[in-house]
Amino acid sequence: MRIDRESRAIAVAMAIPAIPAPQLSWPVRLRFASGDFACNLYWQSSSLFLFFYYTDVLHLAPQIAGVIYMIGSVWDGIADLLAGIWAERGRRAYARVVGYGAVPLGLAFPLLYFAPPFQGMAFVVGLLIAQFAFRSLYAMVNIPYAAWSARISTDSRDRAAIAGLRMLFGTIAAVVVSLATERISLAVSGTRTSVTGFLCAAALFALIATPLLIYVARRSPPGVDRRSADAPATPLLRSLAALATNWAFVTLCTAMICVAIAATMLSRSVLYYFTYIVGDETAGTTALALMGVAGSLFVPLWMLARHRIGSRALWLGAVALAIAASAVFALTDSGAAWRADLFLVTMQGALAAFSFVFWAMLPDTVEYGEYQGGVRIEALGFGVAALLQKVAIGAATAITGFAYAAIGYTPQVAQSAGVITGIRWIMVAAPIIGCLLSALAMAANPLRRDTHRRIVATLAQREAGNAMI
């Protein structure tokens, strides 16, 4: 029955001619998207290095590190949801929230790499407090910034261009974080993996990100809130129910969850693979940087591909690429750095496609839900999507930690053949399973090519009709 209703909704929307909307200039798009460089200095650092920092710098057991990271990530998702509720109900000016939140966020980020002067459970509690502080402030800034993309323009071409530019800035940030973190540590402390070195790297990233976020908040157009200023806020339960029945939103988030788990388990294993299988820790950070560069190079290609074949087809093509790369690596891996680099670069190409499609389609689900159910949900939708993503990442990190404990991993020692085999299988099995499941979810997504533009035209006609009454 749901599929029949979705099909009828699409058919009605497709009957309405698509009306081109004014588009943003490229300088405006670039200025707004540059905020993702700032956000990703924080995000990439915590994603690529924090779990490794816990195990190999603070010498926590991998399962303990995984649980700490999971708790922080789940709280991150809850904070995202609360930020979305707060912004949605208060009709917040997103630019103002981003600008005011930039400074406290920058101050909180280095706390992630601060080693509390305690022992035992008090030490773990100190790490968790740092997680809660940073992730709460990150949600307060990042969710309004993400939701801003649904308000800055209703044109799907603008949104796709901004999503692609945000991806480029994000991958550039990944390159910077990958190449700079351990090199800053080496310059400051004389070793690549030290508490002082990681702390200084985090402080430097915050010094770069803070003024950039303030600049974006002050210089980017605020966009238009299409809801009536005197209209009452939609009750929370009704808003959540509207999201639950928004099939475009549900299937997109389901596909994202599957890919997030796969990507997390892969990325968490990179430094371990190069440190203990290749035997070159520096090559691991170089591989992470290559992945970032690859993401930058692939994004323009995916932007062009989306224009020609649409978002859903691009997602399914990326699934095929990821599964093929994982299968080939599983069959040919010999511990050579160049083979791992080639595999990771190819996987990053697929992951870049997933991320680009997700952020390009997520704002479009706002109008789809408004068309379908008569309720426009902006910031709350982004908050729920972020909650689901963060829970998936946290769960995947915890699973990775317990998996490493199960295969017998011990930090800073030569690993047995069984451990090496386990690391290899964690790297390839997760992408294959996760990508296959994401393909099933995306195949059910109702947003086809040009569907969104026609829905926007339908909504505009509704508004014009209501204004005449």
pTM for the model stands at: 0.75
Q: How far apart are the first and last CA of the chain?
A: 34
Q: What is the pLDDT of residue 130?
A: 96
Q: What is the pLDDT of residue 116?
A: 92
Q: What is the pLDDT of residue 43?
A: 92
**DSSP states along 185-218:** HHHHHSSSS-HHHHHHHHHHHHHHHHHHHHHHHH
Q: What is the pLDDT of residue 233?
A: 66
Q: What is the pLDDT of residue 134?
A: 96
Please write down the HEC assignment for all residues of 355-412. HHHHHHHHHHHHHHHHHHHCCCCCHHHHHHHHHHHHHHHHHHHHHHHHHHHHCCCCCC
Q: What is the pLDDT of residue 419?
A: 92
Six-digit token string for 416: 């047995």
Residue 400 near residue 268, CB atoms below 8 Å: yes
Six-digit token string for 384: 């729920």
Print burial letters for 307-326: b (CB count within 10 Å at least 16), e (below 16): eeebbbbbbbebbebbbebb
Q: What is the pLDDT of residue 230?
A: 53
Six-digit token string for 370: 């408004």
- Region at 69 (left for phi over 0; alpha for psi -120 to 50; beta for the rest): alpha
CA 103 – CA 209 distance, rounded (Å): 9
Contacts of 166 by beta carbon, 8 Å cutoff, 6+ apart: 33, 35, 36, 359
Tell me the Cα Rg of the chain: 22
Residue pLDDT tens, the chain, 469 long = 444 554 554 454 444 444 444 578 889 999 999 999 999 999 999 988 999 999 999 999 999 999 999 999 899 889 888 888 877 665 567 888 899 999 999 999 999 999 999 899 999 999 999 999 999 999 999 988 988 887 788 777 788 888 889 888 988 998 899 999 999 999 999 998 899 999 999 999 999 999 999 999 998 887 666 555 555 667 878 888 999 999 999 999 999 999 999 999 998 899 899 989 998 888 888 888 888 888 778 888 998 898 888 889 999 999 999 999 999 999 999 889 999 999 999 999 999 999 989 988 998 898 898 888 888 887 788 889 988 998 999 999 999 999 999 999 988 788 899 999 999 999 999 999 999 999 999 999 998 877 778 888 888 787 776 655 5
Six-digit token string for 107: 């101050």
Place of tokens 């460089």: 37
Residue 367 near residue 452, CB atoms below 8 Å: yes
- Write the single-letter amino acid at 104: P
Decide: helix, strand or coil at residue 245: coil
